[in-house]
Structure 1
């Protein structure tokens, strides 16, 4: 290790820092305090201050009489042991760097001294090369250039070129031999690496087989149970879908038969069930039932048409039957002596019950489809038309009878005849309205 730099001391009489750090000296002139103002090799040293140690700079002391000088103390190297221990490693690195820099400078100076003869030897070699080879347009494949550079008649030149070729060949062989060692060494290492790779692949294959066997022994049964459970869930879902498909197919077939048989109540039940299925997600994704809403709408329209026709046919009687009933009642009333009393018409209760039994299911079905108001309007218009036709036919048939009866009855006064005419038409009104107007 390089020698340590000498410690620098300052006395109280010659130090310029006496104002900041006063010192005192004994009568013999030996300083009492030694300030180590050195080039601090520590990284934390500050180049702008003398106080590079860890303690802060001292504060100036107040003006006071100096204390009595103490007895001189002995200073030894052991007193600086903490400082030397702190700066030993950084100073060692500093000395190594300086030594390395000195060695580099010495090597550069030696290279510069040897470069002179080498440069002169290179210049001599270049002077021996003909100037033809240094031309910018030098091309040996050119015939004239080749003849000028390599004259065939100069045997000495051929001999010298042959010697140069031998030298080049010797250098090439030497370089090839030098590089072939590393090449063959690398080739051998590559072969060894190939063998290690093959062995590693074999081990990996064995480990995979072991892992496969362990997987089959440890988790194979559990995995099989999980797969079977998933398969069972899929089959259950498939069975439910197939059940829904079968139910919808049978319902559509039954709906067609019910509509054809005019069973409106059953057809409405089937339509409601299918509509509930459509409102849920059970038919979602089934391509075969993509047009089922249109089919249900068509079937519902057919059911409404059947209900409307049945209701009108059941509620509105036949025109011929109405005419016959009116004529029979009128003739029966005409044959009875007129005594000024009104006769009530007794309606058959059995026919009323039959009519009610026929109309009640139709009305319920119409209420389910919200078509009852529209059907009642149709019924009203149809009934008005039938009643008008019946009134016209009855008046046309009974008018000759009434005229003949008026001529034959001489004893009846004009007022009585007028009353008689009123009695003749009153049964018609009494019979028609209670029976055929739906309340």
Structure 2
């Protein structure tokens, strides 16, 4: 096994000499030590590290883009879909946006040390709950190389060490981004082991990461249904789950026609491969402009799969199967259904949604409020595109993902979602009778 004093680069150089279990144990032990160092680092030092890391991303943009080009070439040869290729692609604008996201995390309010609540007991003891880091976080993700920077920035600012395991399709991009991030972190005097990237694409390393309960406090999966299912099935570590984005946009009979058309097309087509994309459009049978919405989607080169009523609106619509209502396409495909009022829309969403993001488009405030209260999703919207389901758009900076569960954190998980709390008790000599 690699000695505890070895540099991180030596782990990369020697990973083939270790089993996946040995590799993860070594990395996790180093991460635990780094987390202890972060706990005594000032917020100013962490901000400095992020500023330096963001600048390193900008300085190394040509190398990052070149690395990404290799990933793109391999992914195209392996038949990755256009939507997934879009997730993977990095150009100068996207690298600069990634750097800007890291800079933005540096501007956010530091949650650590904040007092959630305080009370004084009748015996005079003062109790308070204070935010503290989670410790060591493992993040397993696919396709999107910008997650490497986003996750590193958020975890570091929240005082956590992180072990990143990206998808094999983005391995060159992830390594280039990780290198820039570590350069900035080390230049600020913080431990490089605070942000580690698993150097092997061996799937067994994922299994080892999921079982490292001795060292890792939380696992965050970001990817498709099969990845999340595997993580939830195998993990011996608590999991912050991000499930499918089977999102709905419901066009109520009282919707403004122009707004409805604009929002539906944007919600589906702005970027089809992101988790906030609308996958099913429900249209009230009382909405007279339904043909215009279907036509606009088709004209935008989106395949429309509809029920019989929708098929009657345009000859280009293909029949929807039962499976379509439960599918996250992540592509230019949408399922459309005509419903008989708000109750039927709510019933459809309850039966088929993934509890990610659902929206209503209406000018009827009473119906909107009922929808907002009745839909059990992490994000529920009124007269807005589901594409806004993003931590940056919520003013949270970069996000670690959208949690669709109900425990610990829900919706966009940013700094506060990467903390826990401890109780502080201040006494004056109280002994329990």
Which has the larger strand fraction? 2
Q: Which fold has the larger relative contact order, with Cα–Cα distance below 8 Å and residues 6 or more apart in sequence?
A: 2
- State TM-score, norm by structure 2: 0.14
Which has the larger helix fraction? 1
- State TM-score, norm by structure 1: 0.14
